[in-house]
Structure 1
């Protein structure tokens, strides 16, 4: 009888542990199978033109996956993270910091990282097409005639930035400044920030003298070169950051492993086709995709920890 009671007690403990484990907010059962796949991008340039470029992906993904696909563009990084957390979006094209946030809050899963051509050097927007890389860099741009030569010169200036979850448009340049002794949020430095929607808008704001500087990804000047061919001679980088892990393709946390693999393979296959490559290249300058894992983004978490000091 005592042994039977012990067995019952042990079973109760195990059941309690299982229930407790199941109730953890980030512990999501991975069994979701989409009947219709929703894919969302975050804007790196004009949202409307970006959505028009991305829409043809619907047909290509439907062919590979066998289910209807809806492609759309979110208003900002936070919106898409929340949409994935509330199960309104299945697949998100997320920059590194937004991915880290989505993983932390909703156990979202990274399945791919983008591959891009690198640049000739840290100052140039000219691509080096001899190799593909899984990283990029952020830059701080100013007008060449502004007199701003270094990070210390940014004190008292107005800077165009992206959302605070933007890796290239906020985290890396702001942390780089902090590590060089210039806290962008310290009132004594009298730096004013202006949030703009899209890295192209950051470049334009500097070109038009609406702001003194802008945080953008390296190569952002190319986004406006067609309409403003003088941009490369008038707007120049004064600082280029360390390497940033490339953008992700991330799925919601409860996606079944089988479907994670299907989506992973579909994007890699599509990016190798003429039509598919044209789409992903025009939207985000992606040249292809490589498998990814969460630990690739530990460096982002280190930058995030430093970013928390900006308000202290």
Structure 2
């Protein structure tokens, strides 16, 4: 009996010590406080001037949240961001979903938190008089998408075609365009038009038409979101602390992102209604699936 009591007292003592140690670590031994600074980049914002214009409020808020100095590290594109991560020159990077799959393959960067966007999905539209009634009817047709690699304007529509049982390399002809206008669809140069839902809505407004003129043939599922990633050279326990602090203070961080005037940046409209959520590498498998289906595995190797 005495032995049993001793065993339970021992368990309580160990649990108490563990809790005390964890509290001391979180309150007194934060690894973040040992960092002189963290360097922060945004993959699609070239130049320091643009970074300061679009992300200074966020940088300042993140610095307060992490209780560590945050400095901008300008990169011109995703290639420079990837190289900087490989060389350990940058600590934190904000990337788009398709960019994440590419960066992860080359750097083993760690997803911290996702910056979710409501109604972030792709659509495929057709003319009202096209006679096309389902995605299966696109076989042998011409579809226009955005630039290769863009999540909502390229990855999303192709995933919809794949899910409909079509081979995107042989069953349809894909043409690409950097703009978001409906001109080619209107002129009959193509049969279908795939973009992000937001781009479709803007295109309708610019053309002065309604959804009844250019019907949504299908909507895709919610797409993977933008994500803040950490260099694989940072300690896992440090990355976890950054994640917990960002999630705990997400209202403050999101307010900072949205505080940039719309006249100066698209961030305000792009992330209106956004939230921060834990990010998992598996969330981006659908992007990898599309690259493989298109014979573009080199992007993710």
Q: TM-score range by the shorter chain?
A: 0.5 to 0.7
Of the candidates 31, 39, 42, which is equivalent to residue 39 of structure 1? 42
State the distance in 1 between where 2:54 and 2:279 align: 24
Q: Give the C-alpha shift of residue 252 in structure 1.
A: 3.3
2:259 aligned counterpart, secondary structure? helix
Task: Kindly tell me the number of residue pairs found equivalent between the two proteins.
Answer: 250
1:243 aligned counterpart, secondary structure? coil
Q: Give the C-alpha shift of residue 73 in structure 1.
A: 6.8
TM-align CA RMSD? 4.2
In structure 2, the residue matched to 1:287 is: 273
TM superposition score normalised by structure 2: 0.63
State the distance in 2 between where 1:194 and 1:220 align: 17
Of the candidates 191, 200, 219, which is equivalent to residue 198 of structure 2? 219
Q: Structure 2: which 5+ residue stretches go unaligned?
A: 1-31, 64-68, 297-301
1:201 aligned counterpart, secondary structure? coil
State the distance in 1 between where 2:268 and 2:187 align: 25
Label 1:58 to 1:152 Cα distance change in 2 as closer, same or farther (>3 A): closer
Larger radius of gyration: 2
In structure 2, the residue matched to 1:19 is: none
Counting only pairs closer than 5 Å after superposition, residues 1-312 of structure 1 correspond to structure 2 as 34=37, 36-41=39-44, 56-64=53-61, 65=63, 66-69=69-72, 74=77, 81=82, 84-85=85-86, 91-118=92-119, 136-186=120-170, 189=171, 191-197=172-178, 201=180, 203=182, 205-207=184-186, 209=188, 211-230=190-209, 232-255=211-234, 257=238, 260-261=242-243, 264=246, 268-273=251-256, 275-276=259-260, 281-282=267-268, 284-295=270-281, 297=283, 300-301=284-285, 304-305=288-289, 308-309=292-293, 311=295
Q: Give the C-alpha shift of residue 238 in structure 1.
A: 0.7
In structure 2, the residue matched to 1:13 is: none
| Alpha carbons 2:41, 2:94 under 8 Å: kept | no
Label 1:232 to 1:302 Cα distance change in 2 as closer, same or farther (>3 A): closer
TM superposition score normalised by structure 1: 0.61
Deviation by residue 1:190-210 (Cα, 9 ceiling, x = unmatched): x3322333xx62656535655
State the distance in 1 between where 2:181 and 2:84 align: 26
State the distance in 1 between where 2:90 and 2:188 align: 38
State the distance in 1 between where 2:211 and 2:89 align: 40
